[in-house]
Amino acid sequence: MAVVTRAAPAPMGTRRKVGWARARRYVLPLVGLAVALAFLGPYIVMVLNSLRPSSDVVQTPPTFLPRTWQWSTFGDVLGDQRFLNWLKTSLLVATSSTIIVVLVAVPAAYFTARVRFAGRTAFLFLVLITQMFSPTSLVVGLYREFFDLNLVNTYLAIILTNSAFNLAFAIWILHGFFSSIPKEVEEAAHLDGCSRFGTLTRIMLPLTMPGVVTAVIFTFIAAWNEYVVALTLMLDDAKKPLTVGITSYVTGYEQHWDQLFAASIIAIIPVVILFAFIEKHLVRGLTAGSIK
Model pLDDT, residue 154: 92
91 and 42 within one domain: no
220 and 125 within one domain: yes
Model pLDDT, residue 95: 94
- 19 pLDDT tier (thresholds 50, 70, 90): low
Query: Rounded to an integer, what distance in angstroms lies between the CA atom of residue 256 and that of residue 291?
Result: 54
In a domain, 198, yes or no: yes
In a domain, 56, yes or no: no
Residue 177: give the domain boundaries. Answer: 76-290
- 118 pLDDT tier (thresholds 50, 70, 90): confident
59-115: per-residue pLDDT in tens? 778 788 888 888 888 898 999 899 999 999 999 999 999 999 999 999 888 888 887
226 and 83 within one domain: yes
271 and 143 within one domain: yes
197-212: per-residue pLDDT in tens? 888 888 888 888 888 8
Model pLDDT, residue 5: 53
191 and 97 within one domain: yes
244-292: per-residue pLDDT in tens? 999 888 877 778 888 999 999 999 888 888 877 777 766 655 554 444 4
Is residue 50 within 8 A of residue 74, CB to CB? The reply is: yes
Nearest Cα neighbor of 160 from 83, 212, 227, 230 is: 230
189 and 140 within one domain: yes
181 and 92 within one domain: yes
Query: Rounded to an integer, what distance in angstroms lies between the CA atom of residue 15 and that of residue 10?
Result: 6
In a domain, 42, yes or no: yes
In a domain, 20, yes or no: yes
Query: Rounded to an integer, what distance in angstroms lies between the CA atom of residue 158 and that of residue 175?
Result: 26
Residue with the larger pLDDT of the pair 276 and 224: 224
In a domain, 236, yes or no: yes
- Half-sphere exposure (Cβ direction) of 182: Cα atoms closer than 13 Å: 5
Cβ contacts of 213 within 8 Å, gap of 6 or more:
278, 281, 282, 285
Residue with the larger pLDDT of the pair 114 and 133: 114
241 and 140 within one domain: yes
270 and 221 within one domain: yes
In a domain, 67, yes or no: no
In a domain, 126, yes or no: yes
The mean per-residue pLDDT over the stretch 225-233 comes to 90
> Residue 164's domain is classified under what CATH number?
1.10.3720.10
20 and 94 within one domain: no
In a domain, 10, yes or no: no
pTM value is: 0.81
The rounded mean pLDDT for the chain is: 82
135 and 45 within one domain: no
Residue 2 has pLDDT above 80, yes or no: no
Number of independent structural domains in the chain: 2
237 and 143 within one domain: yes
Model pLDDT, residue 289: 43
